[in-house]
Amino acid sequence: MANPEMLKKIIAHAKEYGFIFQSSEIYDGLSAVYDYGQNGVELKNNIKKYWWDSMVKLNENIVGIDTAIFMHPKIWTASGHVGAFSDPLIDNKDSKKRYRADVLIEDHREKIQLKINKDVDKAQKRFGDEFDKEEFLKTNKRVLDRQAKIDSITERFQNALNNDDLDDLKQLIVDEGIICPVSGSKNWTDVRQFNLMFDTKLGSVSEDADKIYLRPETAQGIFVNYLNVQKTGRMKLPFGIAQIGKAFRNEIVARQFIFRMREFEQMEMQFFIRPGEQEKWFEHWKNLRISWHKALNLGSEGYRFHDHDKLAHYATAATDIEFDFPMGFKELEGIHSRGDFDLSQHQEFSGKKLQYFDPELNKSYVPFVIETSIGLDRMFLAILSSSFKDEKIEKADGKTESRIVLKIHPALAPVKAAVLPLVKKDGLPEKAREILKELQYEFNCQYEEKDSIGKRYRRHDAIGTPFCITVDHQSLEDNTVTIRDRDTMQQERININEVKNIISEKTNMKNLFEKIENR
């Protein structure tokens, strides 16, 4: 559920502990652009690895590539981005703030849905065990009225989007009495389309320079290399090509931290299939992707599928996996059935055949495509926000204190173990560094000797380090250390030889991969 206070806490925490900084901060920042700090980059790399390996390493028919950000400008005409990669924008004349008209309407609809949820909660409390949610939703007058409102907004909204009827989009905002959250007024401009692509010039002599675009998605790099990969990899249908890389969009409204950035990273996979098999493969990838998410244990209540209000004209099906971010349920990943649109367009615009010879059918055709597309930064935010816990803990003397802990899955945690000498003398730092050296071959570890051991534990809780290894005087005598578990805070004395195995067992990504169902 939307929780703006939580978002503020997470932004502050992300900065304080070296996860995310505003870009160009000492120059007062650059809007909707962010830098990843020393812990952020580790978490980001681990998320990439979880995605990449689950696609490329665990599927014998998926390979990865890494294509350039700059591409031939014709590509963006062929793909439809020059003509239609735009969002409907609207300005409030009083606050001078700019909004996406579709997002204003979606948020308004979501507010009505939240009222229904509240009605359900209240009734549940009143009736207790007797409560029948299904029956309540079907019969309660107030709920039915609210649902009817949602349905009528959805119908009109979809019609306006599908017919590119910008006037009616505005009228819907007016008729629903949607106000600007800043000025509180309903004084709106007309709705206009705004193209989201950044452009620049290629070439040193400005008169001859060609206008080129910063790619707004990584997918086109995959499509234009379809034949290269298919031929050189001797790939047989069905097969997939995966890519992780930067994308750029001049977003109209870029708020909400790393949820909506102007420079961001995508992890996309295009799965090439035989025409006619799209329904089967769409279902397959829907199931596989939600299972990939759920393996992380971010809370199974936190996901829902949302089918698109407007299908791209070539698409036969499209759904979003939405996640319950601190701003409410929002798109985290898209799964799209794209038909043969992309390859056919590139075939036409480039004049090169982009087909597949199917030996079983003994004919050539342009393959169909199922796409899975997830924002790396949004995934980062999903993990950060759901693993952030403000816990009250009871101390031995009966008093309580609080601790902030990031309960990130150990396989994704930026630092796997901290090695801490109890004191800065008596040979303990030397012993601790010896252990560190051995662990560094396999894990990202940190050595820390400053501050009390309690403070050091708290610092590592705050960045999600699963293990703290403490070296004390006894370690010098019997080769043992204490190992502290981040989640239970239990400490156990173990032989130094066991440390590596314990860390390895808990932080191994295999633990995640094994939980992905229907692989």
**Interface residues with ligand ATP (CB under 6 A)?**
217, 249, 251, 260-261, 264, 266, 331-334, 373-375, 377-378
Instruction: Provide the minimum distance between the beta carbon of 263 and ligand ATP in the complex, in angstroms, as a whole number.
Output: 8
Residue closest to ligand ATP (Cβ): 375
Could you tell me where the DSSP H helices lie in 128-165?
A: 133-139, 141-162
How do beta strands 417-421 and 445-447 pair?
Answer: parallel
CB of 383 to ligand ATP, least distance (A): 13
Using the minimum distance from each CB to ligand ATP, give the nearer residue, 337 or 480. Answer: 337
Question: Given the complex with ligand ATP, which of 160 and 235 has the nearer CB atom?
Answer: 160
- The least distance separating ligand ATP from the CB of residue 429, rounded to whole angstroms, comes to 43
Q: Which is nearer to ligand ATP, 217 or 342 (CB)?
A: 217
Q: Rounded to whole angstroms, how far apart are CA atoms 27 and 43?
A: 26
**Which of 259, 266, 276 has its CA nearest to residue 245?**
266
Residue 367: DSSP 8-state: P
* Residue among 261 and 439 whose Cβ is closer to ligand ATP: 261
Q: Which letter, b or e, does each residue of 156-187 get, where b requires 16 or more Cβ atoms within 10 Å of its Cβ?
A: bbeebbeeeebebbbebbeebebbbeeeeeee
User: Rounded distance, CA 264 to CA 260, Å?
Assistant: 8
Complex with ligand ATP: residue 383 or 439, whichever CB lies closer: 383
State the minimum distance, in angstroms, from the CB of residue 247 to ligand ATP.
7
Cα separation, 407 vs 389, whole angstroms: 7
**What phi, psi does 109 have (nearest 5°)?**
-65, -40
DSSP state of 55: I
Residue 312: burial class (beta carbons within 10 Å; 0-12, 13-18, 19+) = middle
Name the minimum Å distance from CB 249 to ligand ATP. Answer: 5
Residue 257 Cβ vs ligand ATP, minimum distance, rounded to whole Å: 10
Closer residue to ligand ATP in complex, CB, 178/374? 374
User: Minimum distance between the CB of residue 261 and ligand ATP, rounded to whole angstroms?
Assistant: 4
Closer to ligand ATP by Cβ: residue 94 or 331:
331
- Using CA atoms, how far apart are residues 408 and 469, in angstroms rounded to an integer? 18
- Whole-number minimum distance, CB 125 to ligand ATP, in Å? 34
- Return d(Cα 287, Cα 290) in angstroms, integer: 5
Name the residue nearer to ligand ATP (CB basis): 159 or 256: 256
Q: What would the DSSP string read from start to end of 452-502?
A: -HHHHHHHHHHHT-SEEEEE-HHHHHHSEEEEEETTT--EEEEEHHHHHHH
Nearest CA-CA partner of 469 in 477, 408, 443, 14:
443
Q: How far is the CB of 371 from ligand ATP (least distance, A)?
A: 9
- Residue number with CB closer to ligand ATP (330 or 431): 330
> Which residue lies nearer to ligand ATP by CB, 215 or 416?
215
User: In whole angstroms, how close is the CB of 353 to ligand ATP at the nearest point?
Assistant: 28
